Amino acid sequence: MTVTTPALDVVDLGDPATFADHDLDAFWRTLRDTYPVYWNPPLDGRRGFWVLSRYDDIMAAYRDDVHFTSERGNVLVTLLGGGDAGAGRMLAVTDGHRHHELRKILQRVLSPRVLSEVAAAVRVNTRQLIREAVEAGGCDFAEQIASRIPMTTISNLLGVPEQDRDHLLAQTKAALSTDAEDVDEVDSEMARNEILMYFMDMVEERRESPGDDVISMLVASSIDGVPLSDEDIVLNCYSLIIGGDETSRLTMIDGVHTLAAQPEQWRRLKHGEVAIDTAVDEVLRWASPTMHFGRSVVGETELHGVQLRPGEIVTLWHASGNRDERIFDRPGTFDLGRTPNKHLAFGYGPHFCIGSYLAKVEIAELLMALRDFTTGFETTGEALRIRSNFLTGFSSLPVRWRPDHSGMKEVD
């Protein structure tokens, strides 16, 4: 596939095909240097929206809950569609006091202290998957490994039976990160509804027979003395399954794709020349799997001389902020030893990703398993890009492994 660098006037950031068909590095650089507050005009029946591309501006918008709100949607698909049905109930699109209280509830099961046993299970699962793949010689890393680590983890937390996980994975991909050109917004909406209906059934089951999973915990929770409704719980389960799968999965795939193409960085990882935690942050910065989040203007404000008025949409582009030369030295270089590395992969401020610890654990365990069980790896076919204006990455990645026989003999 030919990848082109488009002129400003032909880029539509609302169109998923834009990201599959174009290399946007030069576009983002031009915006950062020349149009830090850029207007993406109305096209194909979609509303226009503002685009923030500089790291500092993105951070300022994340901090500002006076002029901006998440409660009318936080991604283009809902912002351009007129709003999010989960507003005021789902953590990601709730602000103020209720957001604070709902976040406290979810932190009970997603904090590092509580997740120690989950982290141990991630290690066992990841090392088993990598060991089996290396022994087989090759695999589609995206399908056979990256699709299984985060989905297994979040499903265990939510109490999703093993036989239902492939179905849920297929729906999460269709909802936000499909690779098929013939999947349109209607198909994506149907997939989102399928996930919601699935969790509605699970909530009913947990009300009848509680367990020790997150859904049972939510069923027993209340805010200001009022129990969470079935709809509240279902919407937050949807958010957890999407968030718990997509970011980690796409980052893992991108990390293997990048390391296969950069032997010097692989050598540094293999020989312990970089700390795993430092490497994880660079893999996240480089992948930037969540390309943007969005806000709606609720109070008139000005940025770089541009008036932002109530009702307008403002999008905050991690894909650009994580490459901002004003913040990152040599941002176009993949450097596993990069420090400091205050990337935006998990957002910032009150809506900082509540699952960030778990995502870092999953990526760290993957890197350690690759380091221990292989001497390297190479891609053996084209990596197929997803089609999305929200997420970026690959849906397939054929890989051939070179086993580290001494590492493979070790007992975990």
Q: How do the domains of the chain map onto residue ranges?
A: 8-409
Question: How many Å is the maximal CA-CA distance in the chain?
Answer: 63
What pLDDT is attached to residue 407? 86
* Mean pLDDT by groups of 10 residues along the chain of 412 residues: 57 91 92 97 93 98 96 94 91 96 93 89 97 97 96 94 91 72 72 93 96 94 97 94 90 98 98 98 98 98 98 98 98 98 96 95 98 98 92 96 88 54
With tokens 């030893």, the residue in question is: 337
Nearest CA to 355 among 121, 110, 144, 139?
A: 110
List, as one string, the DSSP characters of 169-230: HHHHHHHH----TT--HHHHHHHHHHHHHHHHHHHHHHHHS--SSHHHHHHT-EETTEEPPH
Nearest CA to 329 among 340, 320, 318?
A: 340
Name, in order, each residue with C-beta under 8 angstroms of 213's C-beta and a sequence gap of 6 or more: 157, 158, 159, 206
CA distances from 386 to 22, 113, 175, 186, 254 (A): 13, 35, 12, 17, 12
Nearest CA to 14 among 38, 47, 37?
A: 47
* Alpha-carbon gap, residue 387 to 223, rounded angstroms: 38
Helix (H) or strand (E) holding 108: helix 96-110
For the segment(s) 8-409, the CATH number from 2.70.170.10, 1.10.630.10, 3.40.720.10, 3.60.40.10 is 1.10.630.10
* Alpha-carbon gap, residue 355 to 234, rounded angstroms: 17
Helix (H) or strand (E) holding 107: helix 96-110
What pLDDT is attached to residue 4? 46
| Four-CA torsion 55, 60, 63, 64, nearest 10 degrees | -140
Burial of residue 406 (CB within 10 Å: 0-12, 13-18, 19+) is: exposed
Nearest CA to 206 among 152, 155, 156, 158?
A: 158
What pLDDT is attached to residue 411? 55
Check: CB of residue 379 under 8 Å from CB of residue 402. no
Nearest CA to 172 among 71, 106, 248, 103?
A: 248
* Alpha-carbon gap, residue 28 to 23, rounded angstroms: 10
What's the whole-model pTM score?
0.94
The strand pair at 226-227 and 222-223 is best described as: antiparallel
Q: Six-digit token pair at 278? A: 């430092």
Phi, psi dihedrals of residue 143, rounded to the nearest 5°: -75, -40
The residue type found at 10 is: V
